Structure 1
Amino acid sequence: MISMRSAIALLLLAPALALGQAPKDEEDKVSNDNPARPLQMPPATTEVKEALDDFERFQRRSAWERALKALYTITEDQALRFVDGDSGFIIPVAQKRRQVLTALPPEGQAAYRLFYDAEAQKLFADAEGPTELANLERIYSAYFTTTIGDDAADRLGDIYFEMGRFDRAADCWLSILHDRPDTNLSPATIALKSALALARAGRRTEFDQIRADLADRYKEDKVTIGGTTAAPAELLRRLLEADPPAAALAETAGPTPAAAEASLDLGRPIEPDWQLRIAESIEAGMTPAELNQWRSNSLSDAKPAVAVEGSTLFANYLGHIVAVDLDSGKLLWRTEAFHHLENLAMQQGGQMATPGRFAILASREYVWTVARDLKDQNYMAPFHLACRRADNGELVWKSTDLPEYALFDLNGPPLLSDGTMFIPAKAQPNPQQSQPLPEQMVLAIQPHDGKLLWKREIGVFRQGQQRFYYYNMRDNSPQVRLFLRAGSLYIDTHVGVLARLDAGTGALDWGYGYKTDAPQAEMYFFSYNRVQEPQAVSGRPLENGDAILVKGAQSSRLYAIDPNRMKALWERPVSKDARLLGVDDRSLYLGGQELGSLDLKTRGLSWATKLPGGSLDGAVLVRSDGLFQLTPRGIFELDPRSGDVRRIFRGQDLGSAGGDLVLTDDLLLAVSNRTITAYPRRTAGADASARGESATPKEKTSR
């Protein structure tokens, strides 16, 4: 029983405790201006935020002239900067301005048009030739609720659609449907255009909703597009039939599985077709003392990054590049032998290289690699990009020879799409340009010659300190991950921001701020052989229907967001070391200390299975028939519904540090720190038995 004195003390302390605690909403709010967050998107100035506050204050008093004047003190360069939006989204000032203007009450709208209709009309009249796009974008950004704003948005949508910027075209037309009920344009026509853009953009849920409206709300209307007149739903059907890409996107609920969904049977002995023996090449001729020293070096556990293009496997092993024929295992070319690599790795500069940052990407003509020169004894040496010819390894260009890359440290794997390469980079501080802190950038590159097409700042790191690493201590900063979706480039910084860019122009659309660890603010040193805690690799965000699933490498929460309607759908706590592996119609699969599954409907943990070495790293095969992971004790196959280990395929990779599994049409490639082993997807005997023939074992080669 609590004494009277204790009760009085609690009563006296309660107000103080209440005053010292932030409201729950404030605690949960993620703000771009929070100094405890590691990355800040390009912020608007204090004057912009004061102008938005003044607008709100004056409009509450119906002082419309003063309210609108406050809003239009915002300059156009500041309209491209960012402020906090709703549900964790960080949005451009222009979008915030359009939101508050479309929310004006009728008397506010009348005053607004009185003051600004003439200016908007002039911009619209001058929207011809080279100024057309800029003028229409200006009207849509600043004057959308004027009497001409809906016409400008409609024309702008047409231009975006012709340019292939389907997301932006859909947003223009949807804004007319949702925010301009007074429009003189045909709602049925605008809805039909919206449906076509949504189909092209792959926005399935919104497309289904608009298609239902066309068949119901607008069924009595007649619409004319391209000289054809019909009911909106019928015309949509005809247009989709004439446009197979749009029809395919509209009718497909999710991404098409890779060719990898063909059979994968490990329930039988399988001899490899060939092996590329990495460890043997390095360790050949070593004395026992040298061998022990090499194996005690953490770089000896590094696995090569690989890429498959056609019948060739390309590998980047700590900057040593090789090409191997997939059918025979024959070495086609290499940049240098592995044999002396341990000498470089033993030097202090080499020991600072982070193996997970080496990357490779291939096309029919070229192969691109992200690497660091192990001979460079600078502890903070940047990673660079190089392009080689795929057929012979001849160097075409490298970023260290191009002055526009001088301040960039590449901090994530590249992505290639439609003749453009995208890659994340950290821009180093440049006090001469008033840039005291490093910036997170995304670069768009012309792949064949390295020319920069555009570069875009995602945000500024708040870590201003210089860390010093000694001996076996590496920079474990998470790698930035990119993925493309319907003309939009998504960037997970893994330090609290998921951003979306227009892939064609680099225009920064918005950011989503999620909870993550605060930055380290102190300058500190690391001593010899300090043990670093294992850290999961940075996972790529996953698509699940219209939703995107995000889990930052330094975050203890998993998020599902709708990027098109800019809504946070749900979130839940997870282990900080969890990483996203794959998703199907029922489950989300996570790596980490354990390999686990979440039920997407209940968002509860379905199962968790501990595997040898954990699941912190390595590419795991997530298939409808099973989950497959390469471990130091072989390839484990798990039932995706229960997590039970069905079988363990020992294979030829025992004793490795684990690694990646890669599927081709004919092979299962096990990529570890010791070998790259090619297992046939089906044995010659199995194929022959199916045809009633005798089989002759395939000749195996090794390198």
Structure 2
Amino acid sequence: MLRMSAHFNFFQLKSVCSHLFTCVALCASLSMEKPLCAQIIFAQPVAAAEAITVGDVGTSPHKMPGFSISVDEKKLNLLDDYERYIRHQMWEKALSTLKELAETKSTSPLLPTTDGFLVDAEHRIWLAITSLPAEGREAFRLFFDGKANKQFEEISSESGFFDPKVISKAKNIYSQYFLTSVGDDVAELLGNDAFERGEFALAAHYWKSILDHHPDSNLPEIDLNVKLALALIRSHQLELADANIQLIAQQFPDKKIMMGGRSIDPVSYLQSLITEKPVKSRNSVEQPDTSFALLKQSVNLQQTKSKPKWKLSFLDKSVVQAIMNSQSNYYGRRKSYITFVPPMAVDSKRAYFNFYGVCFGVDLQSGKLVWRNSKFQTLGTHFNNYSFHQSTCLQQYHISVSSDYVLATMIPQKEMNHYRARYRLMAYHKETGKELWTSNIGNESFISKPLVDGDHIYIISHTQNNKLLTLNSLSLKTGKKEWSIPLGTVVAGTSSSGMPLMPVPILQKKGDNLLVLTNNGALFEIAIPSKTVNWVFRYPYKASQQNQNYYYAAIKEEIELHTNGQMIRDQGLVYFKEAGANEVFALDLVAKKVIWKRPVKVSAQIVGIDQNNVYLLSKELEAIDRKTHQLNWSVSLPIAAGGLSALIAPKEVLVFTSRGIFEISKTNGDINRIYRGSDLTSLGGAIDFCNDLVICVSNQSVTAYPVASKLSPDNSDTEKSVP
């Protein structure tokens, strides 16, 4: 048998011969009697949606401005060396570097890719291995096959394939020696183990890796495809599962498989599972996307001259006067208190609100105030205190409802006048408003909206005087911490009073994974079962570090409208725009690549999507095509307050403005009609739909309008003129 160095010399010789043959052919062509004619090649222009550059050219994701994430620099340098050796076909050096890379202990769990992502370090090394060319794969097997076979024989001889120690050793073989002859067997073992533990997405990853990278595997291809489709169904990835079922039908027509001791048609069996309610893993409670209202039928409001179903005012006169005073005395103008619209949460019976920490519940049918945790007029004294203006961040007032609990983030009234007061998470009984608990974790201040998942609460916090963001899992019943994950350090802005201005992250859960939009230049996917970061997508973010917001300066539109970041997920894609950013992204979560990005106004906020468009609202409503990312239409609206939102109906979009509810055609952006309503002195605000009621929340009141039946005639007194 040849020595290892002899094999590598053989590979180098093949490469040299290949280059030599090319040179000889070129010389022969140049020595021809006929002169060579110049050829002009016209390259096809690259579509803008395909030529995506995230950040500066050559900038690694972890070095982009904005959210700071640490990486293992030593491993990163070794990885760069490995990829350089691969490009030059220096196989022996490349694989020696790979061995050193695998044996080096990590100081950080993440490593960057070349397309704006940071992924798990072991997975990043695995990607580098699986991207080897054919000659490199052959060299890889020669270099590592013996060691991989020996380790696999050791775990095969141990009792219990699903023993944690065996699985740990199998994962090491998979991450380091996947391209060897035992890589497919190890991947199947890990896939079976993950499926048994209910981690269906992970099982799908292992089985798919065999199909993608081991074409010579002895494992039956149809069995792998069926198991992959089953795992995709269980992990709620139905679009991918359907595509895999079609592949099985095409490549294995009329083929039967054995399952449960009987022969079945895999296509019919898998299709029947898609129509059933998917089985959820033990950690999975599906979260609907409640970031916008997508209606199945048109909304026909009743005559505007008739009274609304009910109306409740919460803006006390003493509070109005205190806000006006604060604008001139305590830099309150820079906060734009007068345009603040309290956040709302709705269940089947009530609507709940958080107005500067005064939380209250309203009956949806009668409009009666069911409970409140404090009197509205008590807020007036706090607006006259400088410490309140230093500590308060209007975007950090949140409210959620789930089960018997109403959860709210706020500065408790007894602490409002404290210097740099913390935002607490407080739980109330939704029927009575009784305070159940207050989460008090060290010196943590909660900054995101709480996301309830079964008996767990997911929420982002940071320690006062510290810019490190932490994802926390709390008990819904007690508010006590169950576990936490540090995410990274933000680039905080500066408020008009010179205090750090923290971003407000957004959380969304689907299956076993949690998406975290930091609003600071990073999008995370967290695996809840393993409590680890799956990946991070980075993009440049600029935060002003200089305090130029003098109290007498003009208010920026994004401050006046209290523009928030937002993300909406649909069909394997996530559309998002951060607060303070001037770009909207469409990101493929499966392929992990940017589909498109488009510049937009800083003050614009995503308020909904439908089959064709992404809708953004500022002082105009814009419809951006989901496929071409071109602007289909835009229309100016009298938007004068926060609570940016819209009702997306089949043929129209409804927006609550300072001049009433505008109905805009989805075809061309024309204003069909205006419902003036009864909240005539407000600045407009948020709009929602629940229990056949259109609920409008302004800067001073909550109003509910009944929806007319389908047979009701069109309202003759609704205005059809453009304002």
TM alignment of 1:265-284, pairs within 5 A? 265-266=300-301, 268-269=303-304, 270-279=306-315, 281-283=316-318
Cα deviations by residue, 1:556-592 (Å, 9 ceiling, x for unpaired):
2222221112122222222333221111111111122
Quick one: structure 1 residues 55 and 475, their matched pair in 2 at CA, closer, same or farther if it must change by over 3 Å? closer
**2 CA distance for matches of 1:29 and 1:671?**
47
**2 CA distance for matches of 1:662 and 1:410?**
26
Query: Could you tell me which residue of structure 2 aligns to residue 359 of structure 1?
Result: 398
SS at match of 1:564: coil
Q: Shift of the alpha carbon at 1:474?
A: 7.3
Quick one: structure 1 residues 614 and 676, their matched pair in 2 at CA, closer, same or farther if it must change by over 3 Å? closer
Quick one: structure 1 residues 52 and 121, their matched pair in 2 at CA, closer, same or farther if it must change by over 3 Å? farther
Q: Which residue identity lines up with residue 122 of structure 1 in the other structure?
A: E
Q: Shift of the alpha carbon at 1:521?
A: 5.2
From 90, 95, 98, the equivalent of 2:118 is 90
Q: Which residue identity lines up with residue 665 of structure 1 in the other structure?
A: N
1:219 aligns with 2:253: yes
- 1:577 and 1:616 in contact (8 A); partners too: no
Cα deviations by residue, 1:271-301 (Å, 9 ceiling, x for unpaired):
222222112x3449x9xx7685378754343
Query: Could you tell me which residue of structure 2 aligns to residue 368 of structure 1?
Result: 407
Quick one: structure 1 residues 57 and 539, their matched pair in 2 at CA, closer, same or farther if it must change by over 3 Å? closer
SS at match of 1:172: helix
Which stretch shifts more, 649-658 or 24-33? Answer: 24-33
Quick one: structure 1 residues 321 and 216, their matched pair in 2 at CA, closer, same or farther if it must change by over 3 Å? same
Query: Could you tell me which residue of structure 1 aligns to residue 284 of structure 2?
Result: none
Q: Shift of the alpha carbon at 1:527?
A: 5.2
Q: Which residue identity lines up with residue 379 of structure 2 in the other structure?
A: L
**1 CA distance for matches of 2:704 and 2:273?**
46
- 2:471 and 2:486 in contact (8 A); partners too: yes
SS at match of 2:74: helix
Quick one: structure 1 residues 290 and 357, their matched pair in 2 at CA, closer, same or farther if it must change by over 3 Å? closer
- 1:219 and 1:232 in contact (8 A); partners too: no
Cα deviations by residue, 1:190-240 (Å, 9 ceiling, x for unpaired):
111111222233434432331121011123643223333234323423544
**1 CA distance for matches of 2:259 and 2:153?**
26
Query: Could you tell me which residue of structure 1 aligns to residue 699 of structure 2?
Result: 673
Q: Shift of the alpha carbon at 1:497?
A: 1.0
From 642, 646, 660, the equivalent of 1:620 is 646
- 1:579 and 1:616 in contact (8 A); partners too: no
Cα deviations by residue, 1:612-654 (Å, 9 ceiling, x for unpaired):
1368642222222321111111111111221111111111222
Quick one: structure 1 residues 292 and 423, their matched pair in 2 at CA, closer, same or farther if it must change by over 3 Å? closer
Q: Shift of the alpha carbon at 1:258?
A: 6.5
Quick one: structure 1 residues 215 and 360, their matched pair in 2 at CA, closer, same or farther if it must change by over 3 Å? same
- 1:578 and 1:590 in contact (8 A); partners too: yes
1:67 aligns with 2:103: no
Quick one: structure 1 residues 278 and 225, their matched pair in 2 at CA, closer, same or farther if it must change by over 3 Å? same
**1 CA distance for matches of 2:114 and 2:258?**
38
Query: Could you tell me which residue of structure 2 aligns to residue 250 of structure 1?
Result: none
TM-score by length of 2: 0.80
Query: Could you tell me which residue of structure 1 aligns to residue 129 of structure 2?
Result: 101
Query: Could you tell me which residue of structure 2 aligns to residue 540 of structure 1?
Result: 566
SS at match of 1:479: coil
- 1:593 and 1:615 in contact (8 A); partners too: no
1:417 aligns with 2:456: no
Query: Could you tell me which residue of structure 1 aligns to residue 378 of structure 2?
Result: 340
SS at match of 1:504: coil
Quick one: structure 1 residues 54 and 263, their matched pair in 2 at CA, closer, same or farther if it must change by over 3 Å? closer
Quick one: structure 1 residues 166 and 428, their matched pair in 2 at CA, closer, same or farther if it must change by over 3 Å? farther
Cα deviations by residue, 1:243-283 (Å, 9 ceiling, x for unpaired):
43279xxxxxx98997853552126224222222112x344
Q: Which residue identity lines up with residue 248 of structure 2 in the other structure?
A: L
**2 CA distance for matches of 1:669 and 1:28?**
47
Query: Could you tell me which residue of structure 2 aligns to residue 228 of structure 1?
Result: 262
Q: Shift of the alpha carbon at 1:467?
A: 4.9
Query: Could you tell me which residue of structure 2 aligns to residue 452 of structure 1?
Result: 481
1:506 aligns with 2:531: yes
Q: What RMSD, in angstroms, separates the aligned Cα atoms of the two structures?
A: 3.2
Q: Which residue identity lines up with residue 349 of structure 1 in the other structure?
A: S
Quick one: structure 1 residues 561 and 170, their matched pair in 2 at CA, closer, same or farther if it must change by over 3 Å? same
**2 CA distance for matches of 1:340 and 1:383?**
19
Cα deviations by residue, 1:66-97 (Å, 9 ceiling, x for unpaired):
2333222322x44x622221322211211111
Quick one: structure 1 residues 121 and 573, their matched pair in 2 at CA, closer, same or farther if it must change by over 3 Å? farther
Aligned length: 633
Query: Could you tell me which residue of structure 1 aligns to residue 47 of structure 2?
Result: none
- 1:299 and 1:351 in contact (8 A); partners too: no
Quick one: structure 1 residues 133 and 258, their matched pair in 2 at CA, closer, same or farther if it must change by over 3 Å? farther
- 1:282 and 1:338 in contact (8 A); partners too: no
Identity %: 25
**2 CA distance for matches of 1:24 and 1:96?**
20
- 2:340 and 2:641 in contact (8 A); partners too: no
**2 CA distance for matches of 1:673 and 1:454?**
37
1:494 aligns with 2:494: no
- 1:319 and 1:371 in contact (8 A); partners too: yes
- 1:480 and 1:492 in contact (8 A); partners too: yes
TM alignment of 1:227-266, pairs within 5 A? 227-240=261-274, 243-245=276-278, 260-266=295-301
SS at match of 1:340: helix
- 2:450 and 2:458 in contact (8 A); partners too: yes
Query: Could you tell me which residue of structure 2 aligns to residue 386 of structure 1?
Result: 426
- 2:293 and 2:648 in contact (8 A); partners too: no
Quick one: structure 1 residues 531 and 291, their matched pair in 2 at CA, closer, same or farther if it must change by over 3 Å? closer
TM alignment of 1:529-678, pairs within 5 A? 531-535=554-558, 537-613=563-639, 617-678=643-704
TM-score by length of 1: 0.82
SS at match of 1:70: helix
From 196, 206, 211, the equivalent of 1:177 is 211
Q: Which residue identity lines up with residue 620 of structure 1 in the other structure?
A: A
From 66, 70, 73, the equivalent of 1:38 is 66
Q: Shift of the alpha carbon at 1:511?
A: 0.9
Query: Could you tell me which residue of structure 1 aligns to residue 81 of structure 2?
Result: 54
- 2:151 and 2:173 in contact (8 A); partners too: no
Q: With CA pairs under 8 Å and 6+ residues apart, which has the higher RCO, 1 or 2?
A: 2
Cα deviations by residue, 1:280-326 (Å, 9 ceiling, x for unpaired):
x3449x9xx76853787543432222111221221111101112221
**2 CA distance for matches of 1:282 and 1:474?**
29
Q: Shift of the alpha carbon at 1:359?
A: 0.7
Cα deviations by residue, 1:82-133 (Å, 9 ceiling, x for unpaired):
2221322211211111112223421222312223332344356555434355
Q: Shift of the alpha carbon at 1:166?
A: 2.7
Query: Could you tell me which residue of structure 1 aligns to residue 21 of structure 2?
Result: none
- 1:203 and 1:564 in contact (8 A); partners too: no
Q: Shift of the alpha carbon at 1:58?
A: 4.9
Query: Could you tell me which residue of structure 2 aligns to residue 312 of structure 1?
Result: 350
Q: Flag structure 1 segments of 5+ consecutive residues without an equivalent.
A: 1-22, 248-253, 430-436, 691-703
Cα deviations by residue, 1:513-553 (Å, 9 ceiling, x for unpaired):
12322x4456x586555554232522321223221112222
Which stretch shifts more, 90-99 or 217-226? Answer: 217-226
- 2:236 and 2:511 in contact (8 A); partners too: yes
Q: Shift of the alpha carbon at 1:49?
A: 1.5
Query: Could you tell me which residue of structure 1 aligns to residue 48 of structure 2?
Result: none
Quick one: structure 1 residues 123 and 525, their matched pair in 2 at CA, closer, same or farther if it must change by over 3 Å? farther
- 2:308 and 2:704 in contact (8 A); partners too: yes
- 1:124 and 1:152 in contact (8 A); partners too: no
Cα deviations by residue, 1:429-449 (Å, 9 ceiling, x for unpaired):
6xxxxxxx6212221222111
Q: Which residue identity lines up with residue 168 of structure 1 in the other structure?
A: L
1:187 aligns with 2:215: no
Q: Which residue identity lines up with residue 707 of structure 2 in the other structure?
A: R
- 1:478 and 1:537 in contact (8 A); partners too: no
- 1:454 and 1:505 in contact (8 A); partners too: no
Cα deviations by residue, 1:414-435 (Å, 9 ceiling, x for unpaired):
2122332211223456xxxxxx
Which stretch shifts more, 48-57 or 525-534? Answer: 525-534
TM alignment of 1:144-159, pairs within 5 A? 144-159=178-193
Quick one: structure 1 residues 571 and 311, their matched pair in 2 at CA, closer, same or farther if it must change by over 3 Å? same
**2 CA distance for matches of 1:416 and 1:513?**
26
Quick one: structure 1 residues 39 and 568, their matched pair in 2 at CA, closer, same or farther if it must change by over 3 Å? same
Q: Which residue identity lines up with residue 449 of structure 2 in the other structure?
A: P
